[in-house]
Structure 1
Amino acid sequence: MTDINVSHSDDLKTVTVPNLKKDRPKKEHYFLIAPGVLWMVLFLVIPLAMMVYVSFWTQTTFAVNPTLTTKSWITFFSSETYMDALFRTGRLWLTVLVLTFVIGYPVALFVGQLVRSETLRTILLVTCVIPFWTSFLIRVLAWRPMLGKEGAVNIILQKVGLISTPIEVLLFTEVSVVIGLVQIYVVFMVGPIAFMLSRIDHSLLEAARDLGASTWTIFRKIIFPLSLPGVAVGAIFVSVMVLGEFATPAALSGRKVNLLGNIIVTQVGSLKWAFAAVVGVVLTLVMALVITALLRIVNLRKEL
């Protein structure tokens, strides 16, 4: 800490105040971030390192030993079945991501911009979350009687005359998996976007109207760009959860649609820990690439 220097003159007194920020020991900064770093190391870095390490173990029929080998990796990338599961996971993820955005953005736009009452806005957002008050499996399995050949969807479509025979593709296919995933995770797209839209100053929109901007121009140049951080956050939420899914595909596809998550569950159940670790590492890399790409599109640290 610097000393306080006081100089006297006939009509002026100068006091030099110590710069506390500059003189503060830098060790305090490390103590502040230490708990977060410790948490990340214990529950993220070490588990990931262990998963990578186990993926190189030698896998026997019902056991593994720590002899390092690349056999499990070669098996994964040389198998058409596992590569199909990888591409299917990516395809379903992209489909669900697009659909949750297409469905969720208009809902978020209504809640975040058109609803001015904070109380009503809160009620609407809570209404979106109400399905999460029930069991995840119940919400997934509830789609079976809805999408079956004699389910509610086919009955309604036949009653209104849109179809003459039941649509069989609605259940135990990729279509049913997409429907279930979109219904479950669309709320994770609505919430962040609605939050960002509610932060937009309405005087900014009024100024744009006064300058002659059309509704479409206001949306394209003001509303949508300002909501992009919410879109990015919602996309990250949806991506992480969809890429790791295994229960919804198993329940709604009759185990006909296998994603990477389903393969991990199957391999763990068969005590094939090394191969399960390989799939886990691949899935983690896919998630990391997706999140990195989304963060490159929108700089959340700068926008938020």
Structure 2
Amino acid sequence: MTATNTDIVYVAGQSAPAKPSFLARNRHYVLLLPGVLWMLVFLVMPLLMMLYVSFWTQTTFAIHSTLTLKSWVTFFSSDTYVEALMRTLRIWLIVLGLTFAIGYPTALFIGQFVRDKTVQTILLVACVIPFWTSFLIRVLAWRPMLGREGAINIVLMKFGVISHPISQLLFTELSVIIGMVQIYVVFMVGPIAFMLARIDDSLIEAARDLGASPMTIFRRIIFPLSLPGVTVGAIFVSVMVLGEFATSAALSGRKVNLLGNIIVTQVGSLKWAFAAVAGVVLTVVMAAVIAGLLRLVDLRREL
């Protein structure tokens, strides 16, 4: 008998091969199950619960599970909440731009101009040295630097740059921006430096041999290849800045209220519905920002 491609030939005396078990046939789903359960329990369910609570009826001294849109109407009709949202977005854009403007040249120097891997590692470790101390200490350390009698005013007056102390450096929106940029710039440096260090030197050498100028090499080769790092760094900075409340409270004297500060205040006042509304709005903003950044580059393909 001649066996075709679709025939199964069994040797006499041998049994048919065993059918794979259910676990063997679906092992990839089994491996995914713990992660999916974790995301459902600790991410999806809390978000759904927060959305549900945002529709509860909030009174001055109590909250009831009766569903209503009153808290949502109050949020978007209140100048305080809307201004906090707009201020959060404005500070996020400023901090994101400044961290990129400071972090990219730093990462470019580490990733392209420093060729020794050991020196690169040392410089990257030096960037994270501030993280060896408490976050709150790093924030509060700016107070003696930015105050009227602080180090910055003393130095500027000593060199004759100013004739009297600058009072706008502390307890203003500027102080919040300065603190956030210093704290989060390292999250922009790391991913960009990692991507720059991966660029093949032969690409740059070939471009030079073809007569490309340094600016052309940067514009056509270096920057496009570093975009995944820029995207990752921008996501890190965006998520942390949009959810900020400690830096603004410490460096602005509670004069600059971000959306995170609104949430903390409402939770402290036991106004869970208002806090849930602000939390949902903040989550939607974060999701929109991340989705927009991910459209810049296909991270799964680039990384």
TM-score scaled by length of structure 1? 0.92
Match of 2:128 in 1: 129
1:189 paired with 2:166, answer no
Query: Equivalents in 2 of 1:227, 1:161: separation in Å?
Result: 41
Query: Equivalents in 2 of 1:114, 1:3: separation in Å?
Result: 63
- Secondary structure of 2:36's match? helix
Question: In the alignment, residue 196 of structure 1 is paired with which amino acid?
Answer: M
Q: How many residues align?
A: 290
Query: Equivalents in 1 of 2:38, 2:102: separation in Å?
Result: 36
- Secondary structure of 1:66's match? strand
Match of 1:67 in 2: 66
Question: In the alignment, residue 234 of structure 2 is paired with which amino acid?
Answer: A
Question: In the alignment, residue 266 of structure 2 is paired with which amino acid?
Answer: Q
- Secondary structure of 2:98's match? helix
Query: Equivalents in 2 of 1:123, 1:75: separation in Å?
Result: 52
Query: Equivalents in 1 of 2:302, 2:160: separation in Å?
Result: 49
Question: In the alignment, residue 256 of structure 2 is paired with which amino acid?
Answer: V
Match of 1:229 in 2: 228
Query: Equivalents in 2 of 1:150, 1:4: separation in Å?
Result: 89
Query: Equivalents in 2 of 1:298, 1:93: separation in Å?
Result: 21
Deviation of 1:63 after TM superposition, in Å, equals 2.0
Match of 1:9 in 2: none
Q: 1:195–1:3: structure 2 CA closer, same or farther, 3 Å change rule?
A: farther
Query: Equivalents in 1 of 2:181, 2:122: separation in Å?
Result: 22
- Secondary structure of 2:66's match? coil
Given that 1:58 and 1:64 are in contact with CA atoms closer than 8 Å, whether structure 2 keeps it comes out as yes
Query: Equivalents in 2 of 1:61, 1:205: separation in Å?
Result: 65
Question: In the alignment, residue 280 of structure 1 is paired with which amino acid?
Answer: G
Q: How does 1:148-159 map to 2 (within 5 A)?
A: 148-159=147-158
Match of 2:81 in 1: 82
Deviation of 1:301 after TM superposition, in Å, equals 1.3
Given that 1:93 and 1:242 are in contact with CA atoms closer than 8 Å, whether structure 2 keeps it comes out as yes
Query: Equivalents in 1 of 2:227, 2:8: separation in Å?
Result: 50
Question: In the alignment, residue 198 of structure 1 is paired with which amino acid?
Answer: A
- Secondary structure of 1:58's match? strand
Query: Equivalents in 2 of 1:109, 1:3: separation in Å?
Result: 62
Deviation of 1:30 after TM superposition, in Å, equals 1.1
Given that 1:246 and 1:262 are in contact with CA atoms closer than 8 Å, whether structure 2 keeps it comes out as yes
Question: In the alignment, residue 301 of structure 1 is paired with which amino acid?
Answer: R
| Superposed CA offset, 1:7-38 (max 9, x none) | xxxxxxxxxxx9xxxxx954222112111111
| Superposed CA offset, 1:165-194 (max 9, x none) | 211111100000000000000000000000
Q: How does 1:264-275 map to 2 (within 5 A)?
A: 264-275=263-274
Match of 1:100 in 2: 99
Deviation of 1:62 after TM superposition, in Å, equals 2.4
Can you give the 5+ residue segments of structure 1 that lack an aligned partner in the other structure? 7-17, 19-23
Query: Equivalents in 1 of 2:123, 2:274: separation in Å?
Result: 45
Question: In the alignment, residue 89 of structure 2 is paired with which amino acid?
Answer: G
Deviation of 1:3 after TM superposition, in Å, equals 7.9
| Superposed CA offset, 1:136-167 (max 9, x none) | 11100010110011110011111122111211
Query: Equivalents in 1 of 2:25, 2:282: separation in Å?
Result: 39
Percent sequence identity over matched residues?
77
| Superposed CA offset, 1:215-264 (max 9, x none) | 00000000000000000000000000000000000000000000000000
Question: In the alignment, residue 232 of structure 2 is paired with which amino acid?
Answer: V
- Secondary structure of 2:128's match? helix
Question: In the alignment, residue 39 of structure 1 is paired with which amino acid?
Answer: W
Can you give the 5+ residue segments of structure 2 that lack an aligned partner in the other structure? 1-5, 11-16, 18-22
Given that 1:62 and 1:270 are in contact with CA atoms closer than 8 Å, whether structure 2 keeps it comes out as no
Match of 2:30 in 1: 31
Question: In the alignment, residue 126 of structure 2 is paired with which amino acid?
Answer: T
Question: In the alignment, residue 199 of structure 1 is paired with which amino acid?
Answer: R
Query: Equivalents in 1 of 2:295, 2:166: separation in Å?
Result: 41
Q: How does 1:1-304 map to 2 (within 5 A)?
A: 26-304=25-303
- Secondary structure of 1:271's match? coil
Question: In the alignment, residue 276 of structure 1 is paired with which amino acid?
Answer: A
